[in-house]
Amino acid sequence: MSDRKRDAIARAALTLFAVDGYERTSVDAIATEAGVSKRTVYSHYADKEALFLSVVRDTYEGMLTRISEIVDHVPWDRDLTAALTKCATDITRSIVRSPERSTLSRLLIAEAPHFPDVIDLLHTREITPLIALPLERLAAAGRLTVTDGRQAAEHLAALTFGQVSSRSLMGTVPLGEEETTRLIKGGIQVFLRAYAPPSASVAVPARAASSSAA
């Protein structure tokens, strides 16, 4: 099967499963939506359940990959407030606002309880560990007072893109740029009140500052 046809089937399946539910979505409907034959669908997926699990897993893993890339490209050695804001803003723009994410969220709410494999996936592959690592490194450098990186990452997520997700009903209701920026900025301020060291050392570290001056 070509990548183009596989992608078309995955997109069609994700959309129809979210709109009509797992039980009411037929393989015939998915094939029609994707513009392929039913035989083509079955040439790659053993049955509808295998297709469902594959689509959920691949979509979720794709989101995690994008978040990992965002976190890796944040300039954590520079101004801390700016770094945290960039991380939260980029995750919001790439993940929280994406139609794919809102579709996946609706699908998981409706169907995850019926599929233990999906619940296991969500429990074993989470977003917060990806954010916890740089926060722990900042703590080791004395720039944050973090004793539990995972908990700090959960707080950062809840205060920033978690708020955007909640306010936009998981991406289903458009949220303006000004409101999004306000939520993220306020969330970062609260996070730093809780986790900034007593010296409030959130600016550029001396090493980075001297490098910039050079």
Average pLDDT value for the chain: 88
pLDDT at residue 44 in the model: 87
Instruction: Name the pLDDT band for 175 (thresholds 50, 70, 90).
Output: confident
pLDDT at residue 201 in the model: 46
Torsion sign, CA atoms 96, 98, 100, 106: positive
Residue 13, classed as helix, strand or coil, is helix
**35-70 tens-digit pLDDT:** 999 999 999 899 999 999 999 999 999 999 999 999
* Structural domains present in the chain: 1-45 (1.10.10.60), 56-213 (1.10.357.10)
Torsion sign, CA atoms 131, 133, 136, 138: negative
Distance between CA atoms of 125 and 159, rounded to whole angstroms?
Answer: 21
Distance between CA atoms of 150 and 77, rounded to whole angstroms?
Answer: 20
pLDDT at residue 205 in the model: 44
